[in-house]
């Protein structure tokens, strides 16, 4: 075992050297080899040390059961921190662990340089441990069942946050600062320092809203309820903001799933080709790589799609057509530079919108299929623009319904009015009614949800005792 670890450490040094030679610039990475129980615990909680909840246990038992029966396997888990953490499954072969380490370096380079991760809390593991400790204190003080029931309600809407939360300045307008008393001594440069200010006798226009008042519509349902609910206690607001902070950490990963996996797959392939060149491991590596980036029947494999798009971008910018040269002034030999640019500035929506071409849609045999007459799944669209647009639409708002708060004092009775920004996909009304019950528990007053069903406007109501609609 010591020899295997020594060989793996030696291979990691070589993998790091190759990655840096290709231009990758990841954070330092700490790798740990762990048993399946630990791997699947981290996979189900998404971050080690996170707060305890039955939904994580449910996810753990589902994933671990699939692993035990040989139906599914997690080869690695990578944590976006600085330094980053990579967890390797102890039952992996040495070659599998080498490929996984190369794959992890691709992920960490993406975490470090993609613009959507710019505001990421790189000490989130420490943060979630503090969250878990505070929630445990609340369980001791208020009772475990009380806290768990509250978490049930919060987690039912955890995806409904604003991915642009950190750049929305108007949410928290501070009160105007009080003028400090002057000493009476006149500054000789006062006229220069006050250039552009209104004369003393001129009054400023009244503010559009009072500091602290909500701005509508509000996309961030979790933040809005935590700050404006008339029913929550301080500890409940604290728990909601903890969940909110953790979801903000996960948002960039949800925004870049295809790109992130494609980038990591692209680079593990090139790193491992150089590492294994001329060795007996090359054939085994090729088989492993093929299993990672192979298409999946009936579902989209993000590794496969992202990998193919990055390869296509590099090819097209290395060897532009005559039409591309004339239309865009595109020189040849710019493929590697272009994919690094894409890695830095795009997310999945712009990635697919800009770089999923007609040729790729045909090569990858992508299509739209739907359940026709509630009987049979049928291919309904193969035109490449429609296929691309459907993929983009499915990723808008991470595939979740777009719900906004449009009034927090509806009927002048502190009732909450939510609006579903309808995009053609109807809500599951049974599920929606259940979520309204959870939202009522958080808001403490009647809740309303405006949506569409059967091409007709529909408003769902819940007053804490019964459901209604009109």
Query: What does the H/E/C string look like for 243-305?
Result: HHHHHHHHHHHHHCHHHHHHHHHHHHHHHHHHHHCCCCHHHHHHHHHHHHCCCECCECCHHHH
Name 56's Cβ contacts closer than 8 Å, sequence gap at least 6: 44, 45, 50
> Which stretches within 25-116 are classed as H helix?
36-45, 54-68, 94-113
Neighbours of 327 (CB within 10 A): 10
Q: What is the pTM of this model?
A: 0.87
Nearest to 89 by CA among 67, 108, 71, 109: 67
The per-residue pLDDT of the chain, averaged, comes to 87
Question: Which residues sit opposite 16 in a β-bridge?
Answer: none
Q: What is the model's pLDDT at position 3? A: 85
Dihedral pair phi/psi, residue 328, rounded to 5°? -115, -5
pLDDT > 90? residue 349: yes
Asked if residues 312 and 355 have their Cβ atoms less than 8 Å apart, the reply is yes
Residue of 387 and 98 predicted with greater confidence: 98
Instruction: Give the mean model confidence (pLDDT) for residues 38-58.
Output: 94
pLDDT > 50? residue 177: no
Q: Exposed, middle or buried by CB within 10 Å (0-12, 13-18, 19+), for 294?
A: exposed
Integer-rounded Cα radius of gyration of the chain? 26
Nearest to 15 by CA among 205, 222, 269: 269
Helices 335-345 and 348-355, axial angle in degrees (round to 10): 140
pLDDT > 50? residue 176: no
Q: What is the model's pLDDT at position 366? A: 81
Taking the chain, what is the end-to-end CA distance rounded to the nearest angstrom?
Answer: 68
Q: Which tokens sit at 76? A: 């690695």
pLDDT > 80? residue 179: no
Q: What is the model's pLDDT at position 167? A: 73
Q: Which tokens sit at 296? A: 């999946």
Q: How far apart are CA 229 and CA 383, in angstroms?
A: 47
Q: Which tokens sit at 136? A: 């445990």
- Each residue of 87-97: b (16+ CB within 10 Å) or e? bbbeebeebbb
Q: Which tokens sit at 174? A: 């501070």
Query: Strand ranges (DSSP E) for 273-414?
Result: 368-372, 376-381, 403-410
Dihedral through CA 59, CA 116, CA 302, CA 219, nearest 10? Answer: 60
Neighbours of 387 (CB within 10 A): 20
Q: What is the pLDDT of residues 77-95, one digit of tens each?
A: 999 999 999 999 999 999 9
Helices 257-276 and 335-345, axial angle in degrees (round to 10): 140
Instruction: Give the mean model confidence (pLDDT) for residues 110-127.
Output: 95
Residue of 465 and 371 predicted with greater confidence: 465
How many angstroms separate the Cα of 187 from the Cα of each of 178, 201, 460? 20, 20, 63
Judged by average pLDDT, the poorest of 204-213, 290-299, 381-390, 446-455 is: 204-213
Nearest to 366 by CA among 286, 426, 290, 308: 308
Question: To which residue do tokens 């590596």 refer?
Answer: 285
Helix (H) or strand (E) holding 75: none
Q: How far apart are CA 351 and CA 391, in angstroms?
A: 11
DSSP category for residue 202: P
Question: Which residues sit opposite 376 in a β-bridge?
Answer: 372
Q: What is the model's pLDDT at position 434? A: 96
Asked if residues 408 and 228 have their Cβ atoms less than 8 Å apart, the reply is yes
Q: How far apart are CA 322 and CA 461, in angstroms?
A: 60
Asked if residues 415 and 409 have their Cβ atoms less than 8 Å apart, the reply is yes
């Amino acid at each position: 075992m010591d020899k295997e670890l020594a060989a793996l450490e030696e291979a990691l040094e070589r993998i790091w050297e190759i990655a840096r030679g290709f231009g990758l610039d990841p954070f330092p990475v700490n790798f740990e080899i762990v048993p399946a129980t630990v791997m699947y615990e981290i996979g189900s909680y998404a971050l080690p040390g996170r707060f305890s909840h039955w939904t994580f246990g449910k996810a753990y038992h589902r994933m671990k059961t699939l692993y035990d029966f040989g139906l599914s396997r997690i080869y690695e888990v990578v944590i976006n921190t600085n330094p980053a953490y990579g967890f390797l499954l102890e039952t992996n072969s040495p070659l599998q662990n080498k490929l996984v380490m190369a794959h992890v370096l691709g992920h960490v380079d993406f975490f470090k340089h993609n613009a959507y991760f710019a505001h990421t809390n790189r000490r989130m593991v420490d943060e979630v441990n503090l969250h878990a400790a505070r929630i445990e204190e609340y369980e001791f003080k208020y009772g475990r069942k009380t806290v768990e029931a509250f978490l049930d309600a919060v987690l039912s809407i955890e995806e409904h946050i604003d991915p642009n939360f950190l750049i929305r300045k108007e949410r928290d307008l501070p009160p105007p600062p009080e003028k400090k008393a002057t000493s009476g001594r006149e500054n000789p440069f006062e006229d220069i320092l006050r250039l552009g200010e209104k004369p003393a006798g001129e009054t400023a226009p009244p503010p559009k809203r009072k500091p602290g008042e909500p701005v509508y519509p509000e996309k961030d349902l979790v933040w809005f309820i935590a700050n404006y609910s008339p029913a929550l206690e301080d500890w409940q607001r604290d728990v909601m903001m903890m969940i909110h902070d953790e979801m903000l950490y996960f948002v960039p990963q949800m925004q870049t799933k295809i790109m992130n996996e494609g980038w990591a797959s692209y680079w593990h392939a090139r790193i491992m080709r150089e590492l294994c060149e001329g060795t007996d491991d090359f054939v085994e590596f090729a088989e492993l790589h093929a299993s990672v980036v192979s298409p999946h029947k009936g579902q989209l494999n993000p590794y496969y799609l992202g990998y193919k798009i990055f390869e296509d971008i590099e090819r097209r910018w290395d060897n532009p057509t005559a039409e591309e040269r004339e239309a865009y002034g595109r020189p040849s030999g710019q493929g590697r530079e272009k994919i690094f640019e894409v890695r830095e500035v795009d997310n999945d929506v712009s990635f697919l919108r800009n770089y999923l071409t007609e040729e790729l849609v045909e090569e990858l045999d992508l299509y739209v299929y739907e359940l026709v007459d509630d009987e049979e799944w049928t291919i309904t669209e193969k035109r490449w623009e429609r296929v691309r647009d459907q993929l983009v639409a499915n990723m808008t708002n991470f595939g979740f319904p777009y719900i906004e708060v449009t009034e927090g004092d509806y009927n002048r009775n502190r009732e909450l009015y939510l609006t579903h920004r309808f995009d053609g996909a109807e809500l599951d009304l049974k599920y929606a009614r259940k979520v309204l019950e959870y939202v009522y528990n958080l808001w403490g007053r009647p809740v309303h949800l405006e949506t569409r069903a059967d091409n007709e406007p529909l408003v769902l109501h819940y007053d804490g005792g019964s459901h209604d609609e009109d």
